[in-house]
Amino acid sequence: MTTTTIKGAAGEARVLRADARRNHTKVLLSARKLFAEQGLDAQIDEIARDAGVGVGTVYRHFPTKEDLLQALADERFIGLAEAAQAALEVEDPGQGFVEFMTYSARVMTEDRALSEAMDQLPGLCRMAAERVEMLRLTGEVLARAQASGDIREDIVPEDIPALICGLGRAVRSEVERPTMSWQRYLEIMLAGMRA
Amino acid sequence: MTTTTIKGAAGEARVLRADARRNHTKVLLSARKLFAEQGLDAQIDEIARDAGVGVGTVYRHFPTKEDLLQALADERFIGLAEAAQAALEVEDPGQGFVEFMTYSARVMTEDRALSEAMDQLPGLCRMAAERVEMLRLTGEVLARAQASGDIREDIVPEDIPALICGLGRAVRSEVERPTMSWQRYLEIMLAGMRA
DNA sequence: GACTATACGGAATCTCAGTTCCGTTTGTCG
DNA sequence: CGACAAACGGAACTGAGATTCCGTATAGTC
């Protein structure tokens, strides 16, 4: 927990047996589903049951609950990085920015564990983010939108993940009634960021 | 957890012994501090230690961790209700709204447990909110600001707690660097809500 | 000052998840 | 078709933290 796990540093190029590969996928699939639905405290036992394997099998593939979460976070951040990359291809910088924010907001609101991990397991997220150079990519998307005069100059790259996190929570907040949709919240947030 | 606790419905007018009254206060004080600092998973044992009493004493005053949290939430919502009341007294409706939002944002960011409870213990918060008619008050503060043309017409009262919750989280998010201050986030959010 | 209902303290208990272990099953290879 | 390493399943083990219990201490009262 404290010291960032060392993770099989060397090449784990071990060729898995066919059933092992199959189970690995099944576990990841169920985990993705259950964590997204229930958040970080989805239970390993339930994931195993859902995947149709024993707990032991889950643990052989992912020695720790946190390792499993790390794998899932990595997937998510790869998606985010691709979205940022795509945003940079869009001709209109402002629109590219909006598209990136929209993708991020959707992912964040659809995956409860992701938004919880962002403030309960910062180390894990930071690691996943660094692996895809998320901050740099985010910065580029933002800078382009600022250069074109679409977004306020005082916003910094680090604000983006924070704002997206906030959005994730605001939307989930069920303290009062039907609650706002993520689109509406995003719209308000973007309005506040426009130059 | 599921069914809203019944709570001593009748008058608990029992006169407490002097030491009991004293301890009740000490526990509440320590709990407020530790929950604010550490969030919902501050431990009862530690609260007891900090208050200088035994665990048993904590439990006599608050049969459950949740009961203790309820008491603290009630305090917080009383403060929020007073802030809303005060906002209604301010001559300029827009300014009243801003002041109310500012107070809410500050409380939310300074009390980690409060912001966590908003999405992990919705029942408890809803109860605290209803006791002070929070939604009605919030609605009045908002309506006044909308009538005067300061705030967008499409914002509804239910959005306010959601937005404030989001703010609480955005500010705590330490995934990247120094993170934004709550004032800056609030400013962006208010900018997005202006008519 | 003695009496007793209230409170107190904190060791012991309970519960719930994460994790480990080991006997059994199954792919893979010759 | 064996042989055997690789994987599997799931009961049992652990640790953490909430909650209970009960013998002891004390405020309030006569």
Residues A63-105 have pLDDT tens digits of: 999 999 999 999 999 999 999 999 999 999 999 999 999 999 9
- Asked if B180 reaches chain A (Cβ–Cβ under 8 Å), the answer is yes
* C1' (C7) to CA (B60) span, angstroms: 9
Asked if residues B162 and A170 have their Cβ atoms less than 8 Å apart, the reply is: yes
CB atoms within 10 A of CB A170: 31
In which element (H, E) is residue B110 found?
helix B93-110
Q: Give the separation between CA A102 and CA B92, rounded to whole angstroms.
A: 35
Please report the pLDDT score of residue A180 as a whole number: 76
Please report the pLDDT score of residue A6 as a whole number: 30
Tens-place pLDDT, residues A151-192? 999 999 999 999 999 999 998 877 765 667 899 999 999 999
CA of B27: nearest nucleotide by C1' is C8
Segments in chain B below pLDDT 50: 1-11
- Asked if B191 reaches chain A (Cβ–Cβ under 8 Å), the answer is yes
Tens-place pLDDT, residues A132-148? 999 999 999 999 999 99
* C1' (D19) to CA (B44) span, angstroms: 10
For the residues A51-74, what does the mean pLDDT come to? Answer: 98
Q: Please tell me which of the candidates B167, B176, B179 has its beta carbon nearest to residue A135.
A: B176
* C1' (D7) to CA (A30) span, angstroms: 19
Residues in chain A, how many? 195
Please report the pLDDT score of residue B111 as a whole number: 97
Tens-place pLDDT, residues B23-45? 999 999 999 999 999 999 999 99
Asked if residues B48 and B61 have their Cβ atoms less than 8 Å apart, the reply is: no
* C1' (D9) to CA (A43) span, angstroms: 17
The one-letter amino acid code at B88 reads: L
B50 class by beta-carbon count within 10 Å (0-12 exposed, 13-18 middle, 19+ buried):
middle
The phi, psi pair for A194, rounded to 5°, reads: -65, 145
SS3 B140: helix
Residue with structure tokens 């929950």? B35
Domain boundaries, chain B: 18-63, 67-193
The phi, psi pair for B151, rounded to 5°, reads: -120, 145
Q: Give the separation between CA A64 and CA B133, rounded to whole angstroms.
A: 45
Residue of A nearest to B41 (CA): A120
Q: Give the separation between CA A25 and CA A30, rounded to whole angstroms.
A: 9
Q: Give the separation between CA B135 and CA B114, rounded to whole angstroms.
A: 17
Distance from CA of A25 to the nearest CA of B (A): 28
CATH superfamily, domain at B18-63: Homeodomain-like (1.10.10.60)
Classify the phi-psi angles of B90: left when phi > 0, otherwise alpha if psi is within -120 to 50, otherwise beta.
Answer: beta
Residue of B nearest to A129 (CA): B175
Please report the pLDDT score of residue A2 as a whole number: 30
Rg for chain A (alpha carbons), in Å?
18
Please report the pLDDT score of residue A23 as a whole number: 98
Residues whose CB falls within 8 Å of the CB of residue A183, separated by 6 or more in sequence, listed in order: none
Q: Which CATH number fits the domain A67-193, given the four candidates 3.10.105.10, 3.30.300.30, 1.10.357.10, 3.30.1540.20?
A: 1.10.357.10
Q: Which residue is nearest to nucleotide C25 (CA to C1')?
A: A19
Distance from CA of A76 to the nearest CA of B (A): 15
Distance from CA of A105 to the nearest CA of B (A): 13
Q: Indicate whether A130 pLDDT > 70.
A: yes
